[in-house]
A and B are shown apart, each in its own frame.
Chain A
């Protein structure tokens, strides 16, 4: 099974989680902003979204 899943972005509300590096780490102002940012990135890149139990979002891409 070859699944090269890639994390494109990590969208969080907690400043201390934004450490830099790869993937793109984004700090949202509030929950609404977080949802909107995640959705916009996912739509633009035709990617999937995982909502983690702690409230952070991962935007991930599956190769077709």
Chain B
């Protein structure tokens, strides 16, 4: 190391850690394909931001070791950039709201935007841990150092991914097909009133012939609190509508006696199994999730 040039050793560390961190972003993008629209440019943008995050994580330790303390301030700049990623993702999804079959809703958009910000931190941490490992494990074989660094990086990635993985509707509720019935201009699913918006004969016939419905049954009574949330129901309806398409009408309805939730619409593709699957896979939104065990905890010594 001399004249401000990095040594070969550090260059290998930085390059390896950056690659592992970028791969971590790539793998998390793949796992998240359902949430993320599959247009290639959005994919590329997130991959590139992930690469930047990985590079920042990779250079942090070599910068410290070469006494480039000012370089560490880049971390704060990077964090600001990742916050901007969240904002950009939120703005982009909000701009698309009027083009979708149904609205995603602010709660779902907030959840997706947060996830994208968090994924960049995963990249940063993974590359940072890879770099630390490679600097700690000193061997004569460079290949072995790279291998150990990459293995540790992927283990860290797996652990963080597992920790940050949220639940989905299928984890807390059962989803079954609902029976549609049109009585005059009113729509019922499994004998539960949904709407009276079917005022025309065309609408009534369309729903009776082509309508599709599912009923969500919470496994525990307290899960209703999350399921009843308007943002959560909107997210379920959005995922269902995106899976099958919407020809006309889309409704959600909640029932308080048993906590059932109804999702019904007239789809373009009539496939009940696909609908049930997409409802089950809808993420339980972070902003509406309530921890029942925490709510029962005796925090301040109350009887």
Q: Chain A interface (Cβ within 8 Å of chain B)?
A: 1, 35, 38-39, 42, 48-51, 57-58, 60, 64
Contact = CB atoms under 8 A, between A and B. Distances in A.
Interface string B178-212: 00000011000000000011111111000000000
Contacts of A60: 197
Contacts of B202: 39
A49 B201 CA distance: 10
A55 B116 CA distance: 52
Contacts of A48: 197, 199, 203, 249
B230 interface: yes
Nearest to B105: A1
A19 to B, nearest CB: 22
Interface string B253-289: 0000000000000000000000000000000000000
Interface of B: 98, 103, 184-185, 196-203, 230, 249
Contacts of A35: 200-201
B203 A49 contact: yes
A51 B98 contact: no
A50 B186 CA distance: 9
B200 A42 contact: yes
A49 B197 contact: yes
A38 B199 contact: yes
23 contacts: A1-B230, A35-B201, A39-B200, A39-B202, A42-B199, A48-B197, A48-B199, A49-B185, A49-B197, A49-B199, A49-B203, A50-B185, A50-B196, A50-B197, A50-B199, A51-B185, A51-B199, A51-B200, A57-B199, A58-B199, A60-B197, A64-B98, A64-B103
